[in-house]
């Protein structure tokens, strides 16, 4: 019998076909339909239907578009929550939006808050202003997107923004691969939480190569899994009891410095 505190998470690390929504959705459909083992959460990369394009006027969809419809379908097929980020048009604005869809139809969204100015993302997309916590199967889960990972205050776990698992989806290039490996480990240690990162692989339309290295870190910062450069579909198990017991035995949070940031957490029950 499965422990009620165990969460089975599937990391989907794949090459993305540049600016080809239909081909990417078909590829992910094939992969997810091939998944035979039980899983509770399936995580796809950042902008999984297009790659990290700065042409939202050509490739954005609404929340009623085919990409979100596929997320809903995959959740129903697998019985799991399925998530990743997409280019979404909403009331005339374009967002790099993380979307979480559950088998029961519940949909939760987070708009990327830190837009990657070195790639001129801020010139093409609107930024988000709210962090969220998703309550799911007894876990408190918070999602971030790629560049958000570089900002420890934004990622900081506090009494009012308390989470057990941080998910980061990305299109993180190999040229900054050291940062991709070190920063999530630091966030795990700082926040005494599980960290799961899901990156893409392969070369994009701007000739940037992505080394993958999707990872899982435990609350002490130990590396539990690294996907390397290959395309993979990997299911791992993490246990909430590890978070609870480690925070009890090493209660760093009791000595945390208190301060406030301007954006508030939106806690979704």
Summarize pLDDT for 161-199 with one digit per residue, the tens.
999 999 999 999 999 999 999 999 999 999 999 999 999
Total count of domains within the chain:
1
Q: How confident is the model at residue 2 (pLDDT cuts 50, 70, 90)?
A: low
> Is 46 assigned a catalytic role?
yes
Three-class secondary structure of residue 87 per DSSP: strand
So what's the pLDDT on residue 4?
A: 84
Residue span of the structural domain in which 178 resides: 6-268
Q: Is the pLDDT of residue 267 over 70?
A: no
Q: Is the pLDDT of residue 1 over 50?
A: no
Q: Is the pLDDT of residue 266 over 80?
A: no
Q: Is the pLDDT of residue 15 over 80?
A: yes
So what's the pLDDT on residue 262?
A: 60
Q: Pick the catalytic residue: 102, 112, 121, 215?
A: 112
So what's the pLDDT on residue 257?
A: 84
Q: How confident is the model at residue 78 (pLDDT cuts 50, 70, 90)?
A: very high
> Is 181 assigned a catalytic role?
no
Q: Pick the catalytic residue: 83, 146, 155, 215?
A: 146
As a whole number of angstroms, the distance between CA 116 and CA 118 comes to 6
* Separation of CA 93 from chain center: 22
Q: Please enumerate in sequence order all residues whose Cβ is within 8 A of that of 179, keeping only pairs 6 or more positions apart, or say none.
A: 150, 172
43 assigned to some structural domain:
yes
1 assigned to some structural domain:
no
So what's the pLDDT on residue 265?
A: 53
So what's the pLDDT on residue 244?
A: 98
Least confidently predicted of 1-5, 209-213, 228-232? 1-5
Contact 71/52 with Cβ under 8 angstroms? no
Q: Average pLDDT of 47-64? A: 99
So what's the pLDDT on residue 3?
A: 79
* CATH number of the CATH domain containing 194: 3.60.110.10
Q: Is the pLDDT of residue 40 over 80?
A: yes
First to last CA, the chain: 26
Q: Is the pLDDT of residue 263 over 90?
A: no
Query: What is the per-residue burial (b if ≥16 Cβ within 10 Å, else e) of 115-124?
Result: bbeebebeeb
Positive/negative CA dihedral, 68, 130, 198, 116? positive
> Is 112 assigned a catalytic role?
yes
Starting at the edge strand found earlier in the chain, the sheet holding 139-145 runs 223-226, 215-217, 194-198, 165-169, 139-145, 131-136, 265-268
Average per-residue pLDDT in the chain? 96
50 assigned to some structural domain:
yes
User: For residue 134, which of 163, 113, 171 has the smallest C-alpha distance?
Assistant: 163
95-141 pLDDT, tens per residue? 999 999 999 999 999 999 999 999 999 999 999 999 999 999 999 99
User: What percent of the chain is predicted at pLDDT more than 90?
Assistant: 91
Q: Average pLDDT of 58-77? A: 99
Tokens 């959705």 belong to: 25
So what's the pLDDT on residue 169?
A: 99
H/E stretch holding 82:
strand 81-90
Q: Pick the catalytic residue: 46, 83, 121, 155?
A: 46
Three-class secondary structure of residue 22 per DSSP: helix
C-alpha to C-alpha distances, 3 to 72, 195, 217, 241, nearest whole angstrom: 26, 20, 20, 10
Three-class secondary structure of residue 147 per DSSP: helix
């Amino acid at each position: 019998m499965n422990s009620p505190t165990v969460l089975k998470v599937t990391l989907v690390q794949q090459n993305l076909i540049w600016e080809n929504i239909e081909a990417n959705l078909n590829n992910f459909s094939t992969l997810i339909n091939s998944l035979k083992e039980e899983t509770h959460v399936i995580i796809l990369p950042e902008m999984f239907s297009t790659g990290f394009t700065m042409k939202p006027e050509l490739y954005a969809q609404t929340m009623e578009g085919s990409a979100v419809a596929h997320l809903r379908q995959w959740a129903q097929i697998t019985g799991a929550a399925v998530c990743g980020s997409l280019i979404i048009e909403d009331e005339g604005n374009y967002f790099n939006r993380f979307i979480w869809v559950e088998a029961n139809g519940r949909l939760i969204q987070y708009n990327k808050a830190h837009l990657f100015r070195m790639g001129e993302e801020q010139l093409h997309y609107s930024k988000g202003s709210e962090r969220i916590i998703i309550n799911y199967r007894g876990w408190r889960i918070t999602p971030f997107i790629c560049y958000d990972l570089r900002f420890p205050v934004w990622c900081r776990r506090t009494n009012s923004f308390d989470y057990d698992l941080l998910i980061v989806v990305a299109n993180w290039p190999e040229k900054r691969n050291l940062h991709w490996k070190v920063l999530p480990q630091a966030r795990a240690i700082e926040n005494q939480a599980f960290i799961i990162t899901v990156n893409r692989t392969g070369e994009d339309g701007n000739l940037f190569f992505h080394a993958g290295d999707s990872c899982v870190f435990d609350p002490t910062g130990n590396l539990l899994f690294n996907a390397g450069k290959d395309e993979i579909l990997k299911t791992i198990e993490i246990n909430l009891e590890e978070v609870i017991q480690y925070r009890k035995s090493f209660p760093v949070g009791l000595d945390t410095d208190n301060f406030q940031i301007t954006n508030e957490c939106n806690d979704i029950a």
